[in-house]
């Protein structure tokens, strides 16, 4: 019941439109308020970053409880970036956890909302989004401090950085538009830096990820009615191969390119065997690993170690109603 929800409420500026966002566990609704502002109410969520093995056995937690959004391991596996809600401001900032140990360091602290970050292949730089009152921007910064070196994109359209190519030359960005929903764009990081559409249809394309050799892109598309995971060549698009069978999103590659991990609609983590040789691509056995609860379906709920043997999960601990979630393992 709505009356039982523990809610936080803040006033935020409105840009060119009002946004409605939802997940499997929470709605965020913006409604007009005094002074051309919008009121945001959302249930309080608590989650824990936890390491699990392939069998679904809990290994160890990382850090403390917080309202975490997404997670992104650094290339060397020694840090993980997450967005955490600031309850006093009602916006998110980016934080870095040390791996192992879980010591937490704040990365951004400005009034804008930052909730998504990707690492450069060498881990020395990051690109993150920043949602201000008038513009939605992508910033490039050293990974050692939140010091903007360049604003790569900035306009009123929703945009999120998804993946950085292994050669450091391109990033994949999902952009949202009224006409075509979510689309995957390529942003070159040299030359004229003019972005161009890579996957753009009337269906929703999302969760794009470069393969470790940069020759393939895994992504999700709703072309069959529900989100499924596909792979297509890069940079020139060609044939697409379907990886998932009964729905899938949030694809991630194993570091050697021999597996793709993704989430099924029933919250089961899946593993698909991959064989890519030259221009040939094939999908082998697809197997379920384990199921887990996570707080936000529209943000990364897991990342994977380089060898594909350990998974860092953003695991839901306290539900929006305030009740503790029973441990699955």
DSSP letter string, 30-91: EEEEGGGEEEEEEE--EEEEEEEETT--EEEEEEEEE-EEEEEE-TTSSEEEEEEEETTTTE
Is 161 a domain residue?
Answer: no
- Cα 161 from Cα 65, distance rounded (Å): 25
The pLDDT of residue 134 is: 79
Cβ-proximal residues to 178 (8 Å cutoff; 6+ apart), any chain: none
pLDDT (tens place) for every residue of the chain, 329 residues total: 223 333 333 333 333 333 333 333 333 333 333 333 333 445 568 999 999 999 999 999 999 999 999 999 999 999 999 999 988 888 999 999 999 999 999 999 988 999 999 999 999 999 999 998 878 999 999 999 998 899 999 998 889 999 999 999 999 999 998 888 999 999 999 999 999 999 999 999 999 999 999 999 999 999 999 999 999 999 998 899 999 999 999 999 999 999 999 999 999 999 999 999 999 999 999 999 999 999 999 999 999 999 999 999 999 997 665 555 444 33
Residue 84 lies in a domain: no
In which region does residue 172 sit, left (phi positive, over 0), alpha (psi from -120 to 50) or beta (all else)? beta
Task: Give the structural domain span for 244.
Answer: 203-295
User: Residue 151, CB half-sphere, CA atoms under 13 Å: how many?
Assistant: 9
Buried b / exposed e over 18-40, threshold 16 CB at 10 Å, is eeeeebebbeeebeeeeeebbeb
Residue 242 forms part of a structural domain = yes
Q: Does residue 223 sit within a domain?
A: yes
Evaluate whether residue 175 is within a structural domain.
Answer: no
Structure tokens at 197: 């559409």
pLDDT at res. 156: 86
Q: Is 170 within a domain?
A: no
pLDDT reported for residue 32: 33
Domain contains 272? yes
**pLDDT of amino acid 321:** 58
**Residue 287 and residue 22 in contact, taking contact as beta carbons nearer than 8 Å:** no
- 242: its two tokens: 């379907």
The closest alpha carbon to 87, from 128, 44, 129, belongs to 44
Position 259 in a domain: yes
Can you give the pLDDT at residue 26? 36
The tally of domains found in the chain comes to 1
């Amino acid at each position: 019941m709505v009356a039982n929800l523990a809610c936080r409420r803040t006033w935020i500026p409105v840009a060119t439109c009002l946004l409605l966002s939802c997940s499997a566990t929470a709605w965020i609704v913006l409604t007009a308020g005094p002074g051309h502002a919008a009121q945001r109410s959302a249930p309080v969520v608590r989650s824990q970053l936890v390491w699990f093995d392939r069998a679904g056995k809990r290994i160890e937690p990382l850090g403390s409880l917080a309202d975490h959004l997404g997670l992104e391991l650094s290339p060397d596996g020694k840090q993980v970036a997450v967005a955490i809600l600031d309850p006093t401001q009602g916006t998110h900032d980016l934080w870095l956890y040390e791996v192992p140990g879980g010591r937490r360091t704040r990365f951004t602290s400005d009034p804008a909302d930052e909730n998504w970050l990707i690492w450069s292949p060498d881990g020395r730089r990051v690109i993150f989004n920043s949602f201000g009152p008038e513009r939605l921007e992508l910033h490039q910064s050293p990974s050692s401090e939140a010091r903007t070196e360049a604003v790569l994109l900035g306009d009123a359209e929703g945009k999120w950085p998804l993946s950085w190519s292994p050669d450091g030359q391109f990033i994949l960005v999902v952009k949202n538009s009224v006409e075509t929903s979510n689309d995957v764009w390529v942003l070159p990081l040299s030359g004229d830096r003019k972005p161009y559409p890579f996957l753009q249809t009337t269906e929703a394309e999302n969760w794009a990820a470069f393969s470790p050799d940069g020759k393939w892109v895994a992504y999700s598309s709703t072309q069959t009615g529900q989100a499924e995971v596909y792979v297509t060549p890069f940079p020139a698009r060609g044939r697409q191969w379907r990886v998932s069978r009964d729905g899938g999103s949030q694809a991630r590659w194993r570091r050697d390119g021999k597996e793709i991990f993704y989430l099924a609609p029933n919250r089961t983590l899946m593993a698909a065997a991959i064989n890519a040789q030259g221009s040939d691509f094939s999908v082998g056995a697809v197997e379920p690993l384990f199921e887990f609860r996570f707080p936000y379906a529209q943000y990364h709920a897991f990342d994977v170690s380089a060898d594909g043997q350990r998974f860092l999960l953003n695991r839901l601990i306290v539900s929006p109603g305030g009740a503790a979630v029973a441990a699955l393992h």
